[in-house]
Structure 1
Amino acid sequence: MDYPSWGFYPVIKNQSVYTVPSRNAQIPSFGSSSLPRGLGRSYGDSCLNEDGTLLLSNQLTHFISFDENTGILRCEAGISFDEILQFAVPRGWFLPVTPGTKFVTVGGAIANDVHGKNHHRAGNFGHHVLSFELIRSTGERIVCSRSSHSDFFFATIGGLGLTGLITWAEFRLTKILSSSITQEQIQFNSLSEFFVLSEQSEKEFEFTVSWVDCVTDSKDVRGIFIRGNYSDSAESNSLSVHKTETFKNIPLFFPDWILNSFSIRAFNELYYRKNLTSRKRNIVHYEPFFYPLDSIYNWNKIYGKRGFLQYQFVIPYKQDAGAALKEIFNLLKRSQMGSFLAVLKTFGSIPSEGLLSFPKEGVTLALDFPNHGETLYRTLEQCDQIVRSVKGAVYPAKDARMSKESFAEFYPRINEFEKYIDPNFSSSFWRRVK
C-alpha cells in the first residue's frame, strides 16, 4: 500500500511502514530513520520518509478518560477529530480548534499545531493541549506538559513528528449548546474592505474566514467573507453529530487537462455570482461550515496524477500586509497561476508556543495549485521572496518545495529545535530544508 502525501507530490519510491500495536509498545530499531504517520493529510513531504520507515498510529485509537464537567479528554494519538466529534458533540462538547478537515489525528494536530477559523479567540490547537506522552527511539517515555519537561512540550507542539512518537494526549474541549452555526456571508470587493470586515467581525464572532477570487480581471481582490458563532437559536439547539456515510467519492484521478486557466476562472466567477446577495444570514450544521471538502471523499484526485501543491503563508500586521498580498496576487496573475481554492483570514494576537509553530499575528492566505512543474515552483519561489521581505512564514505542513534559506529565515528557532529531535527520527521535508 502506498502512503503518499495529500497533494500526491513529491512522489516517494522507497518507504517502509510499521504499525505501532499499542501505546505501551516500544519502537523497534529499523536501521533507518522513523517518522510518525497519522491520516496523511499533510500536503507536502512533512509526512513522507523516503528510504525510512513510517510509524503508523492507526491502532492507537482508544479513549482513555473524559471529565464531563471540565471537558478534559485524554485519548490515544491515533484518534481522529472525526471520532472525537462523534463522541463529544452529543455530550455538548466540541473541539477547541479545528482545521478544515476532521480527518486528522490528535498526534498530527499537535505535530503541526493546527489552527482554524477562531484563531483570534482560541489560538492554535497546541494552546489547549495539557499534556502528552512522548516515546523516544531509546525507549524513554517522557510525559510532557507546561510544568514538566516543558522543553520537549514546546518542541513537540508544531515539531512535525521529529521529537518522538506521541502515544496519548490530554486536552480541553469547548462547551457547546448547539451543533449548529449561525453564519453570515458578506461580499467584499477590495482588500481594504476585507481588513475592515475582519476587524469588525473579530469583536463579535467566534469564527471568521473568507474565500477570495484570485483570477478576477479586477485590479483589486473580491471575495466572500464568512463569519459565525455557535447558534443559540431555539430551532437549532440540538446536538446532532455529522453523518459520515453520505460522502461522495472521487474514485479515479481526473485528467490533467480539466484544470486549466479557463476552468479555474469559470469556477471562481460562478462561485462569486452564486453568492451575489451582498449579505446572507442562515443557520448551518457544523459539518458544512467547518469541513466543506470532507463531503467529497478523495477530493485531492481532482487535480490529476501529477498532484497539486498548497501554498500557505502568513504576513505580520506590523508590515504592510495589504501591499505584500497585492504583490503576490499580481505575481500569480502575471504567471497565470490560478487557484480554485483561495482562503484568506487573519491570525489574532495569541502568540504560538511551539518552536516551529506557523501562526503569528497577521493575515494568512492559502492557495491550491495544480502541479505545473518548474513553472509553478519558480513562481512560488518568487512568492517566498516577498514573504521573506516582510518577515512572514510559509506553513511546513503544506510545503513541498521551499528552500533551506527560506526555511531558516521563516523559522529562526530551528537551531534551538534541533536539540530535541530524536536522532533516529527524520522526514523527507526535514532532510530537504536542513
Structure 2
Amino acid sequence: MRSRPRAGRRYGAALVPVPMRNGNGSGVSMIEGWGGIGVPGRELRSENLERVTERAVLSRGLGRSYGDSSLPPASVGEVVNTTLADRLLAFDEETGLMRAEAGLSLLALNRIFLPRGWFVPVTPGTQFVTLGGMVASDVHGKEHHVRGCFGEHVTRLKMRVADGRVLWCSDEQHQDLFRATIGGMGLTGHILEVEVRMMRIPTAWILQESRRVDDIDEFIARLKDASHRLPATMGWIDLLTRGKNMGRGTLMAGDFASADVAPKRFPKPLPRVTMPFELPSWTVDRWSVRAFNTAYYWKHLPREMHGIVHWETFFYPLDMIRHWNRMYGARGFTQYQCVLPDSAGPSAPRRLLEILTSRGGASMLCVIKNCGPEGKGILSFPMPGTSIALDIPVRDDTQQLVDALNEFVLREGGRIYLTKDQFTRPEHFRAMEPRLPKFQEIRAKWDPEQRIRSAQSVRLFGDKP
C-alpha cells in the first residue's frame, strides 16, 4: 500500500531552507521548541533524507518537544526538518506491519488508517508528531500499563549513522544501535524510515468512563483500579487546591467501542480554534489558574459519567486548540514530567504536589498516568509507577522550582522525561539515570566524534558545544 502523490509539491528532491522567522535574509533564524525556547539556526528540508542528513547535526520533525532536545547546539547552524519525507511506503493488511518515512505525521497516519480499522498501538497526547520523533522520544500514552511505549511495537529502523552509512537496525541486526535509538532523542543517528506494527480496532469511537475524584490519595487508588480494567487511563488534577482536597480532579478511562454499541457512522472531524496571538505573561498566574481549575473540576458535575466519545476528544484534547502554547506569553513555559516508582509508595504524588504548591507553582495542566514495565529503549522514560506532567510558566524562579522537584524525584528513585525537559541540571540527570553510561558507550561506538548532538545533549550529557 502506497500513499498518493502529494499535490502541489514544488521542491522535488531539492534542498531548501525552512522559511525564516526573522526575515532578515541571512538564512539564519530562531529555531524554537514548543515551550518557547529558541536558538539561532537553520532548518533544511528535503524529500531525500539520505542526502540532506550529510550536512546536519540533528534531525527534527514538527518541533513539539517542549525544551531543547530537538534544537541544535548554539554554535551549530543546521538541522534537518524531516516533514517533506512523509511517504507511506508499505502496509500488510494481514499482519498490520507498516513502513513509512520518518517525517510522516501521526495526524496523517490517523487519517489514513482509522477509517480502515487500524490505529497506532501507542499514541502520545498530540497528533502533531512525526514517526521519527515518536521513536526518538519513545512516546508513551494512556495505555502504557498495557502496551508499553511506542518502541515496543517498532520492528525495524532505517538510519543514516554518523560516518555516512545507511543501514537497517532491529533486534536481530545492530541491536545496540536499535535499542539506543528508541528513546535516544535523535543522538544515535538520523532516522530515515520506521517499520511498526499497527493495531486493529473495532471502531473509531471510544467507550469512556469518567469520575470526579476528591483528593490525590483517592485519585491514585482509583487510577490503579481503572488500569486493571481498561487499557487507556489518565487523569487531570488540580494543583492549587490545598488541604484535604489537594489533587482533586477528573479520572478518565476507556477503550475502542465495539461495533454493537458504537454509532454506525465514522466520526466526523472536530472543529478547531486557534490561539491568534501570545497572551501577556501575567495572564497565567495563580489566580487565573485557580479559576480555570475550579471551573474544570465542577464541569464534571455528575460524580460518574459513561458514554461514547470521539477518538480525538479522548486521545488529543489539546489538539483542538491550535498554537495553545501562546497562552503562556513571550517567556514561554516548560513541562516538567517525572515518573515516581511504585516503591516510593502511594503518597509520593501528594508529597510532590506539596513541594510544588509550597513554592507557588501554578500549573493549568497537570496530567497523571499509570506506567507499566520499562521498555527496550535504553533511555526510555517510563518505569512501573505514576507519571505526573506539569505545565509551568517560565518565571524568574523556575530553575529553583525544577531543582526542588528533581531533588525529590531523585530521592524517591524516579526520573524525568527528556522530551519535556528544559531546566534539569546535568548532575541531577546523571544521578537519576544509571543507564546513561551504557547509552553513551553505544553512542560513542557509532559516533566517536559527536557529529550528531543537540542543545540538550550539550547541557545534560556534556557534549561539545
Task: Name the structure 1 match of 2:428.
Answer: 406
Task: Name the structure 2 match of 1:353.
Answer: 376
Q: Is residue 44–residue 52 contact of structure 2 (8 Å, CA) maintained in 1?
A: no
1:172-183 equivalent positions in 2, closer than 5 A? 172-183=197-208
Say which is worse superposed, 255-264 or 227-236, in terms of deviation.
227-236
Provide the secondary structure at the position in 2 that maps to 1:280: strand
Task: Name the structure 2 match of 1:104.
Answer: 129
1:61-100 equivalent positions in 2, closer than 5 A? 61-100=86-125
Say which is worse superposed, 406-415 or 205-214, in terms of deviation.
406-415
Q: Is residue 5–residue 45 contact of structure 1 (8 Å, CA) maintained in 2?
A: yes
- Computed over aligned residues only, the root mean square deviation of the Cα atoms, in angstroms, reads 1.5
1:322-341 equivalent positions in 2, closer than 5 A? 322-341=346-365
Q: Which amino acid aligns with 1:395?
A: Y
From 245, 248, 252, give the equivalent of 1:226: 252
1: CA distance, partners of 2:284 / 2:427: 32
Task: Name the structure 1 match of 2:321.
Answer: 296
2: CA distance, partners of 1:96 / 1:242: 22
Q: Is residue 358–residue 394 contact of structure 1 (8 Å, CA) maintained in 2?
A: yes
Q: Is residue 181–residue 228 contact of structure 1 (8 Å, CA) maintained in 2?
A: yes
Q: Is residue 50–residue 166 contact of structure 2 (8 Å, CA) maintained in 1?
A: no
Task: Name the structure 1 match of 2:389.
Answer: 366
Q: Is residue 72–residue 171 contact of structure 1 (8 Å, CA) maintained in 2?
A: yes
1:26-425 equivalent positions in 2, closer than 5 A? 27-29=53-55, 34-49=57-72, 50-52=74-76, 53-219=78-244, 220-232=246-258, 234=260, 236=262, 238=264, 240=266, 243=269, 246-320=271-345, 322-348=346-372, 350-373=373-396, 375-421=397-443, 422=447, 423-425=450-452
Q: Is residue 31–residue 42 contact of structure 2 (8 Å, CA) maintained in 1?
A: no
Q: Is residue 211–residue 305 contact of structure 2 (8 Å, CA) maintained in 1?
A: yes
Task: Name the structure 2 match of 1:428.
Answer: 455
Q: Which amino acid aligns with 2:51?
A: A
Provide the secondary structure at the position in 2 that maps to 1:168: strand
Q: Which amino acid aligns with 1:97?
A: V
Residues 78-113 of structure 1 deviation map (CA, whole Å, 9 limit, x = unaligned): 000001101111110001000100010000000000
Q: Which amino acid aligns with 1:115?
A: H
1: CA distance, partners of 2:95 / 2:381: 28
Say which is worse superposed, 97-106 or 252-261, in terms of deviation.
252-261
> If the length of structure 2 is used for normalisation, what is the TM-score?
0.88
Give runs of ≥4 in structure 1 deviating > 4 Å.
none
Q: Is residue 207–residue 255 contact of structure 2 (8 Å, CA) maintained in 1?
A: yes
Q: Is residue 131–residue 171 contact of structure 1 (8 Å, CA) maintained in 2?
A: yes
Q: Is residue 374–residue 380 contact of structure 2 (8 Å, CA) maintained in 1?
A: no
Say which is worse superposed, 216-225 or 279-288, in terms of deviation.
216-225
Provide the secondary structure at the position in 2 that maps to 1:306: coil
- Give ranges in structure 2 of 5+ residues lacking alignment: 1-19, 21-29
Q: Is residue 186–residue 280 contact of structure 1 (8 Å, CA) maintained in 2?
A: yes
2: CA distance, partners of 1:29 / 1:96: 34
Residues 109-148 of structure 1 deviation map (CA, whole Å, 9 limit, x = unaligned): 0000000000111000000000011101322112011111
Residues 283-340 of structure 1 deviation map (CA, whole Å, 9 limit, x = unaligned): 11101110001011100001001100100000110122x3332222112212111110
Provide the secondary structure at the position in 2 that maps to 1:85: helix
Q: Is residue 77–residue 167 contact of structure 1 (8 Å, CA) maintained in 2?
A: yes
Provide the secondary structure at the position in 1 that maps to 2:134: helix
The percentage of counterpart residues that share the same residue type is 36
- Give ranges in structure 1 of 5+ residues lacking alignment: none
Task: Name the structure 2 match of 1:8.
Answer: 36
**Higher RCO, 1 vs 2 (CA within 8 Å, ≥6 residues apart):** 1
2: CA distance, partners of 1:275 / 1:26: 50
Provide the secondary structure at the position in 1 that maps to 2:348: helix
Q: Is residue 210–residue 225 contact of structure 1 (8 Å, CA) maintained in 2?
A: yes
TM-superposed deviation, 1:416: 1.5
Q: Is residue 179–residue 239 contact of structure 1 (8 Å, CA) maintained in 2?
A: no
Q: Which amino acid aligns with 2:99?
A: R
Q: Is residue 430–residue 436 contact of structure 2 (8 Å, CA) maintained in 1?
A: yes
Provide the secondary structure at the position in 2 that maps to 1:133: strand
Q: Is residue 66–residue 73 contact of structure 1 (8 Å, CA) maintained in 2?
A: yes
Q: Which amino acid aligns with 2:247?
A: V
2: CA distance, partners of 1:26 / 1:354: 26
TM-superposed deviation, 1:24: 4.1
> If the length of structure 1 is used for normalisation, what is the TM-score?
0.95
